[in-house]
Each structure stands twice: as structure tokens, then as C-alpha cells.
Homo-oligomer: A and B are copies of this chain.
Amino acid sequence: MKKDDGIDKKDKIDLTGSSVVERSLTINGLKQKTEKETAMKNITKRGEDYSQWYQDVIANADLAEHSVVRGCMVIKPYGYAIWEKIVAILDSMLKEMGVKNAYFPIFIPESFLEREKKHVKGFSPELAVVTHGGGKKLEEPLVVRPTSETIIYESFSRWIRSYRDLPFVINQWANVVRWEMRPRLFLRTSEFLWQEGHSAHASLQEAEEYALKILNEVYVKFAHDFMAMPVYTGQKSEGEKFAGAFRTFCIESLMQDGKSLQAGTSHNLSDNFSKSFDVSFLDQDGQRKNIFQTSWGVSTRLIGGLIMTHSDDKGLVLPPKLAPVQVVIIPIRVTDQAAIEVAKSVVKQLAGFSVETDLRDYLRPGEKYYEWEKKGIPVRIEIGPKDMENRAVVLVRRDTGAKESCAISQIPQRVEEILQDMQSSLFAAALKRREESNKIVDSWQDFEQALKQGGYVFTHWCGDESCEADIKQKTKAVSRFMPFDAREEHGDHLCINCGKKTVYKKRWAFALAY
């Protein structure tokens, strides 16, 4: 990149408005790439172009950007602050359940993956492979972990000895790599951050219970109570389950465009891996037995879910419990010492909240409102000269846009009320949207039609992998889950696609998906 290009590039950017800057980047003559910088661009309306809206929300809130390394993302400070909140809460929930953290190598010998046949088949197309290290070609290539079952269970085979060691549960916060040809920020990136938990149990039944416990007591609770994102829980089909799992359970949530997002999974691995990695224990009866395992994870994809569940045409909307900044204070006149003093006293009053005061003197109040609105700050406090005469301020709530005058003495109470109401309103709105778009169908015509309209489509299905592939080819949709809480229906049921009699009493949920 020539120096002149750099100067041009920067000077073209219009700090106030909607210009799109074309960026041209040459990496040592090897690659030529053109990217649009969308920062500070206006936000496309959801109804016009949902995919562009999503990108615009991210760019305007300054959450993340595509990296020059294809498929990878850069998580910018404000986006990372949301991830830190997610990590802190999930980590403490897991620790309360007795889960301990550990750290395993990022590299996995290729041969390790190959020990579990379905596992290697599932992950092979997505691998990044290190062939050279320390200036030499490696004897055996190393794979950058796409997930860590194999490298972790090799350790388990040495660590777990007797029934006294069970259940054995660890978790790892780490980066993983799954090569992605069509990256989308937070949703699909070649590198992403996640937690992956792994447990070992004495029986299949205990593994099943633990996989469900994590799903219900950690993932569902976190999605509902913190993300304000209603999720369905259910079991994945044979075709959609984790490569190497006995059963995969999931939480799935409906996004505003009617597509489903798989937000977290928990797998009962049975003894599939323990047989391959010789993870066994000496039981109380003196017998050596294979252990039964689970693994479960959520990732930076949750941020994508958060964005698409709550945000609107003005930009990001964050549930108060995950907002890095819950309240922003904007004195209308930053040169007015009295207003600054009021701002300081409000900050003190709001000690239990995360608060920022915007004292920048080179932006007009309206520009500041616009900026913080796009960042999804739940409550804005405006301190104007007239308000101050009445010992009051103006509170503006992000999701509804509602403005109210509030006596300075009442601020902590009102802020608390607004944040609580916003947290529950966001959940209620998302739940209502999902419920209203749910459809129950029994004919192929209705099924196709319903899928096009968006939302979950509940129908009877045979569960066969080949039938699912056929449905996908015809509709782009796959089964999302067999819902746990669905009621069983009496009588015989025929598959919506192939017409075969199904073995299930419950309907499956189908949807277009991320």
C-alpha cells in the first residue's frame, strides 16, 4: 500500500454522513481486494435489505469488521465489551455448577481427528492445516482446532482413573477455526471465540442428563434471562447432529427475518470418543469401563443473535443486562459548569449501573444522540438548561424512544425501572414475534408456502437423512429440532415429503436457517 493511497483513503471519509469508502488493499502484490467501509454510513432498513441492515447495524455500532485475512473478523472494543459481559455471566453460571476451566493446545495432530470416523468426516472440509513449524516441514501436519474433543480426550485418558474421578467436567474458553467461504460477522467466521465444555460420566443415562442440564440450566437461562432472546430447545436430526455425537440438543431462536439461528448445542457423545481414545475408569465393582461423554458450546455467534433479535432500523438495541454502557449522560452544553456538576452527581447516584458521560466539545448534542442510539445504549439522560431550572433531566429509552422528564432525585429509581421493563419488554416482543409466525402444516403445498413466509414450520417428518437432503434441495430449509415441549399426537403420521409413516409422535420444526 502506497502512502498516498492511505492519505486519499482517509480524507475521503465523511465523518458526519453516509459516504461509502472504497478501500483497495494490496498485500505485497499477491492479492488485490476491494472492501466497502460502511462505518458512519446510514442504516439500511430491515424491510429493504435485511442482510445489508445487519452489516450496517454492526458497522454503525462499531462492533466488528471483516479482517484482511479472509473469513476472519476483528472484534472491535465495543463488540468485545459485549463478549466480555457474555463470558463473565456464562463463566460464573458454569462455575456455580462446579465446572472448572482449563486450556488445551490449539494444534491437534491430524491422526487424532481420524480416530473418530464421523468426526473427521464432518470437520475435514473446514480445517486449517499447519504444515511447517520452526522453519521445517512437520512430520505430521497439525490441524488448528475446529473443536477440541480429540485433543482433550487424549488427556482424559490419562487423568481419569476411577469412579471417584466421575463426573469429570472441564470447560475451555478458546478460539477455534473452521474455514468459511462465505463469512458473515459473528454468524459465520473462519475464526471464532467460544467456550467448549466436556464431561465424563459413568453411564449413558448420566451423560444424557448432564447434556440436558447444561442446555436447560445454563444456555436456556442465559438466553432468556440475559439475552432476552426466547429459544426453543429440542433434539437435532441424524443429519444435523454434531459429527461424532450420539445425540445433539440445541437452543434455537427466531431472528427478525424469519430465519432460525442455532445459538448453542449440547451433545451426548455416548462412548463414541471414549472407545477411540481409550478413556476408561475402574468402577466400584472392580471392572474397567468406558466412560460416557458430553460436550457443549456457545460462541461469539450469540452476538449475532443478540443483534438480530432486538435491533431496529435506527441501529443496535441491547438488552440492559448485556449492555456494556447502560446509561449515557449528555449535558446539552458541555461548557456549562452547572450542567457538568449535575452530570457528576448523577454518575454518583447511578453507582450500581454502567454509565458514561459524553463531554466531547466537537460534536453537537444531536450528533451524540444519534451515535449512542446506534450503539444501543438503553437509557440516555439529557441535561438541558431548562431541565436544570426544574431540577430535572430528560430520560430517553432506546427501544421505545419514549422521552420523559425526571426529577434529579428520582433518577436511580426511574433508571432501574426502565432497565427492568426494557429487559422484559424485549423478551416479550421477541417471543410474540416468534409465536405469531409459528405454523403447523400437514401438506407439502402449505409446508413450502409456510417456509417462504418465515418462522418455524411444525410438521410430521420421517427423520431420514436422505429425505432431509431432498427437502433442503427443494426448499433450502432443513429440520431445526424436535421440540422437547411439543405435545405427542395420537395415531399414525406420514412424512411431509416422502409420505412414509413416521416413527415420531411429535412434529419437527423446520425453518430456513443461518
A187 in the interface (beta carbon within 8 A)? no
Contact A81 to B104, CB < 8 A, known contacts A109-B27, A134-B125: no
Name the segment of A95-103, A344-352, A440-448 touching the other chain: A95-103
> Residues 400-418 of chain A: 1 if any B CB is under 8 Å from the residue's CB, otherwise 0?
0000000000000000000
A334 to B84 CA separation, bound complex (whole angstroms): 41
> Residues 358-375 of chain A: 1 if any B CB is under 8 Å from the residue's CB, otherwise 0?
000010000000000000
Q: Is the CB of A68 within 8 A of B179?
A: no
Contact A105 to B27, CB < 8 A, known contacts A13-B161, A135-B125, A288-B7: no
Q: Is the CB of A69 within 8 A of B109?
A: yes
A10 CB contact (under 8 Å) in B126, B142, B282: B282
Q: Whole-angstrom distance from the CB of A273 to the nearest CB of chain B?
A: 13
Name the segment of A152-160, A218-226, A251-259, A381-389 touching the other chain: A152-160
- CB-CB under 8 A from A100, the residues of chain B are 77, 80-81
A75 in the interface (beta carbon within 8 A)? yes
- CB-CB under 8 A from A318, the residues of chain B are none
Nearest B residue to A64 via CB reads B103
Contact A155 to B280, CB < 8 A, known contacts A27-B112, A106-B177, A134-B127: no
Q: Is the CB of B30 within 8 A of A74?
A: no
Q: Is the CB of B139 within 8 A of A105?
A: no
Q: Is the CB of A155 within 8 A of B74?
A: yes
A104 CB contact (under 8 Å) in B74, B108, B111: B74
A104 to B73 CA separation, bound complex (whole angstroms): 7
| Residue in A76, A112, A124 with the greatest tally of chain B CB atoms within 10 Å | A76
A215 in the interface (beta carbon within 8 A)? no
- CB-CB under 8 A from A141, the residues of chain B are 132
- CB-CB under 8 A from A161, the residues of chain B are 10, 13, 15
Nearest B residue to A72 via CB reads B105
Q: Is the CB of B74 within 8 A of A27?
A: no
A191 CB contact (under 8 Å) in B73, B75, B105: B105
A288 to B310 CA separation, bound complex (whole angstroms): 40
Within 1-21 of A, Cβ neighbours of B (below 8 Å) are at: 1, 3, 5-7, 9-11, 13, 15
A464 in the interface (beta carbon within 8 A)? no
A30 to B28 CA separation, bound complex (whole angstroms): 37
A144 in the interface (beta carbon within 8 A)? yes
Within 21-35 of A, Cβ neighbours of B (below 8 Å) are at: 23, 27-28, 30-31
Interface size on A, residues (CB 8 A): 83
Q: Whole-angstrom distance from the CB of A462 to the nearest CB of chain B?
A: 32
Q: Is the CB of B142 within 8 A of A69?
A: yes
A491 in the interface (beta carbon within 8 A)? no
Q: Whole-angstrom distance from the CB of A349 to the nearest CB of chain B?
A: 22
A175 in the interface (beta carbon within 8 A)? yes
Within 175-219 of A, Cβ neighbours of B (below 8 Å) are at: 175, 177, 179-181, 190-191, 193
Q: Whole-angstrom distance from the CB of A308 to the nearest CB of chain B?
A: 21
A94 in the interface (beta carbon within 8 A)? no
Contact A6 to B280, CB < 8 A, known contacts A109-B68, A177-B106: yes
A154 CB contact (under 8 Å) in B68, B72, B140, B193: B68
Q: Is the CB of B73 within 8 A of A114?
A: no
| Residue in A106, A139, A158 with the greatest tally of chain B CB atoms within 10 Å | A158
Write 6 A-B pairs (CB below 8 A) sorted by A numbering: A15-B161, A67-B104, A107-B191, A127-B133, A127-B134, A128-B132
Apart from A31-B109, A80-B100, A134-B181, what are 5 other A-B pairs with CB-CB below 8 Å? A7-B280, A10-B282, A15-B161, A74-B155, A132-B141
Top 5 A-B pairs ranked by shortest CB distance? A28-B111, A134-B179, A72-B105, A6-B278, A77-B100
